[in-house]
Amino acid sequence: MKKTLTINISGSIFHIDEDAFEKLQDYLRTINSHYGAGEEGREIISDIESRIAEIFQEKLSSKDQVVNVDMVEEVITIMGRPEEIFETDDETTEESQNQSQTTTTSRKKRRLYRDPDKRVFGGVSSGLSAYFGIDVVVFRLLFVLFFFLGYGFAFLLYIILWIVVPKATTTSQKLEMKGKKVNISNIEESIKDEYNEVKENFDKMREKNGPQVKDGFDRSVDFLGSALRLVLKVIIILLGIGFIFAGFVSLISFIGSMIFAHSFFGPFADFHFPGAMFPKLFLDGTSITLFTIGIIVVIAIPLMLLIFAGIKLLFNFKTNNKIIGFTALAVWLTGIILLISLSFSQIKGYMHSSTRYSENQPIEKIANDTLYLQSTNNIGDHWYEGHIDLDNVKVYMNDNEEIIVGEPTLDIERSYSDNFEIKLKKKARGRTLDRAVENAEGINYKWVQNDSIIVFNQFFTLENDSKWRNQRLHITVKVPEGKVIYLDDSMSKIIHDIDNVSNTWDFDMLGEKWIMKKEGLSLVE
């Protein structure tokens, strides 16, 4: 039975048989002797050992916990044999270069990381650039563009990617990010490139400052570095506090608006928007539940991630738990799909349109030739405790009871009979033509005559359990030639684009008498 040894490679403990240990030891000894003891060489060796440890961890299983010769041979094949990499003979060098070129060009599948070396903020754009092989400027422009066009959606997406996508910290991860094989040749090339870049930047800085300040150069760099670090820490702390505050306030306000009808979306808004009432305007039954789940998921998850990002910035802790991030992203996308599905389902409810006309309703004979038009608030002020106002439709609530009302429009036309008349025109949409007819006929509206005074309701209502399907009501008051109407100030709520000879605006017609002439409605002087 072969003797088993315990070794430590890059902080990981492995059990290895004696033959495999000797082969691995010879391999590492050759690499160490080539790269020497310099700082650059030590970093190359450290990255090579880290990669070897990763490969061993991938190859070991629950049944086979001991590294054997075959595994070591596979590691050497992946990383590259010393005689192929370090040979200095001319012919061998040419052959080695050809083999190295073949190895380098046979790229492996890229992995998505955040690139810390070319980052501006979190390295998301530079990481995407390396993954897709597209210039980083393209991704940065896209994020800026969609930040303004998408009402901040790009900002939330950037924060999510910042949290979910890991940062490429090791040389192996940086090679995987670029789709390069993680072997000795590529590790050496990557580290040398980094050292050369640092050296060039340092040389440029010294040339810029000039030889006359060489004595104070180190102190100046230390001072500037400390000042920049302090400024960055303050900015990070402020960003963290801002993220947490904005996330908490928005999340609490949103949840309150979805659960409690008296809450409103946003503490600084100048209008009430009870989220619990909104889905009832269009949906019923299971659809309300699905919509509520979908909207909570779509809005709450980014807000929670914003809070989480603020906590990370404020307390400077690191987590590489990808499961949480990917799970949140999957749930969020599910919520988006759910809302889109419900939207398409609701669009079908507006496919057909129906218009219903009532017969001309003659007004009872009045004592004189002047008809006075007034309007009244038929729902009362106590309903304004919570409300939604969308175009000409309103949802009012009081004591957990909701009513859907709409605002009618009123116009005045000439009557070709000798009597005043009122005509109602009802319109609605529906999933089918029959359903559209039902929705139109479900519009309830009343007006009252008291001798020469007509009082119109300021709102029409819908049948119980009806949903909003773009119901509309248009009132036409027909005035015989030679007769007069008076528009009370209360009519401002419902009059709409009344034609008159002098082209007077609707609101300017209030409080005045108007006579119907052959050429149209004219002001009584």
> Per-residue pLDDT tens for 352-392?
676 766 666 778 888 788 999 999 987 766 554 455 555 56
Cα 325 off chain centre by: 15
Rounded distance between C-alpha atoms, residue 371 and residue 451, angstroms: 9
Give the chain's mean pLDDT: 75
Alpha helices in 380-471 (DSSP H): 433-441
Rounded distance between C-alpha atoms, residue 76 and residue 318, angstroms: 34
Q: Vertex 319, ends 315 and 323: CA angle to 5°?
A: 140
Scanning the structure block, which residue is given the tokens 């009082």? 455
Identify which has the larger pLDDT, 178 or 269: 178
Model confidence pLDDT, tens digit, residues 99-158 = 444 444 445 577 888 888 777 777 888 888 888 888 887 787 777 667 656 656 777 788
pLDDT > 70: what percent of the chain?
68
Model confidence pLDDT, tens digit, residues 227-266 = 777 777 778 778 878 888 888 888 887 777 666 544 444 4
Pairing of strands 12-17, 66-67: parallel
Output the CA–CA distances (angstroms, integers) from residue 340 to 151, 245, 298, 316, 333, in the order listed: 18, 30, 11, 38, 11
Check pLDDT > 80 for residue 8. yes
For residues 54-78, one letter each, b for 16 or more C-beta atoms within 10 angstroms of the residue's C-beta and e for the rest, the string is bbbeeeeeeeeeebbbebbeebbee
User: Running DSSP on this structure, what letter comes out for residue 177?
Assistant: H
Q: Vertex 443, ends 439 and 444: CA angle to 5°?
A: 150
Model confidence pLDDT, tens digit, residues 64-86 = 778 888 888 887 777 777 665 55
Model confidence pLDDT, tens digit, residues 395-432 = 665 555 667 788 899 999 998 888 899 999 988 888 88
Read off the tokens for 173.
């991860």
Rounded distance between C-alpha atoms, residue 194 and residue 186, angstroms: 12
Task: Quickly count helices (H) and strands (E) in the chain.
Answer: 15, 19
Tell which residue, 214, 261, 238, has the closest CA to residue 387. 261
Using pLDDT thresholds of 50, 70 and 90, give the confidence band for residue 193.
low
Q: Are 129 and 165 in contact (CB under 8 A)?
A: no
pLDDT of residue 213: 43
Scanning the structure block, which residue is given the tokens 């809302």? 339
pTM (two decimals): 0.47
Calculate mean pLDDT across residues 474-492: 93
Scanning the structure block, which residue is given the tokens 């006309």? 357
Read off the tokens for 388.
């939604």
Calculate mean pLDDT across residues 328-342: 88
Element (DSSP H or E) covering residue 200: helix 184-209
pLDDT of residue 199: 53
Q: Is 498 helix (H, G, I), strand (E, B) or coil?
A: coil
pLDDT of residue 85: 55
Q: Is 198 helix (H, G, I), strand (E, B) or coil?
A: helix
Check pLDDT > 60 for residue 214. no
